[in-house]
Amino acid sequence: MSSDVPTAWQSMKSSSKPDRAKAYLKLYNGLQMIGWISACIITLVAIWTGQSIWDLAGFTVQVCQAAAFLEVIHAATGIVRGSPATAFLQWFGRSNVLFGILLYTPEVQQDLGVTLIFVAWSLAEAVRYPWYLSMLLGTPSEWLTWLRYSCFIPLYPLGITGEALVTVKALPHIQRRSVHSTHLPNRANFAFDYYWFCLIGVSTIMPAAFVTLYLYMLRQRRKRLHPRPEAKRD
């Protein structure tokens, strides 16, 4: 799922950050900005030239998404305000599709779903990280803020559709090869079926999470872009 959702960064107040933490956050967001803009450009070039999006942009997207785990650590250590659990769940949802499914089911790496995912993710992050960086620098522009709270409107549905397509088409391959699954009997006396994990996720958790987060972001958009005038005081 697109990470253009409420995260620890949204409660960030750059003016209160210690100098070292603030410098680190600038570096982190700057590098992520460069990485995701690069992924976006590579993805668009692949579409334009008819080449494999996974083959051209897959590595860049994987590096950027792996690095995003640092945002969980940021929340856990208090560098930014927010819930580490929420940050982890947001990171895990996307990472499961990328590292858990796509890396282990090459049969779906050239699917339309990958195109939708890479377009949605890279465009969203190519806006999100510059906005975070501008917040740290204290110079958020109106147009960048508008993009930050508007791009998710088409990109959320695009991304979730791609993730669902990839997951559904990968399910037969996951089941056939028992990808990431552990069956009894074993020494740990523990069983886990990744096929059912993905099936339950795509059929129940993913739609519910999408609706909840999408409605939340719509409310946040109204608050940010169309704030209510303060009531007049006597």
Query: In the chain, where does DSSP find H-type helix?
Result: 19-49, 53-67, 70-77, 84-95, 112-137, 142-148, 152-177, 194-200, 206-225
Look up the pTM and report it.
0.88
- 1 in Cβ contact with 213 (< 8 Å): yes
Among the listed residues 125, 129, 132, 163, the single catalytic one is: 163
Q: Is 214 a catalytic residue?
A: no
Give the 3-state secondary structure of residue 7: coil
Q: Vertex 206, ends 225 and 54: CA angle to 5°?
A: 90
pLDDT 10s digits, 106-115: 999 999 999 9
In sequence order, which residues have a C-beta less than 8 Å from that of residue 184 and are 6 or more positions away? 190, 191
* pLDDT bracket for residue 11 (50, 70, 90): very low
Q: Which of 28, 132, 156, 194 is catalytic?
A: 156
CA distance readout (Å), 130 to 53, 73, 82 = 24, 20, 20
Tell me the C-alpha distance between 224 and 144, whole Å. 12
Q: What are the tens digits of pLDDT across the range 23-51? A: 999 999 999 999 999 999 999 999 999 99
**Separation CA 119–CA 108 (nearest Å):** 16
- Is 142 an annotated catalytic residue? no
**Is 52's pLDDT higher than 90?**
yes
Lowest mean pLDDT among 82-86, 90-94, 145-149, 154-158: 82-86
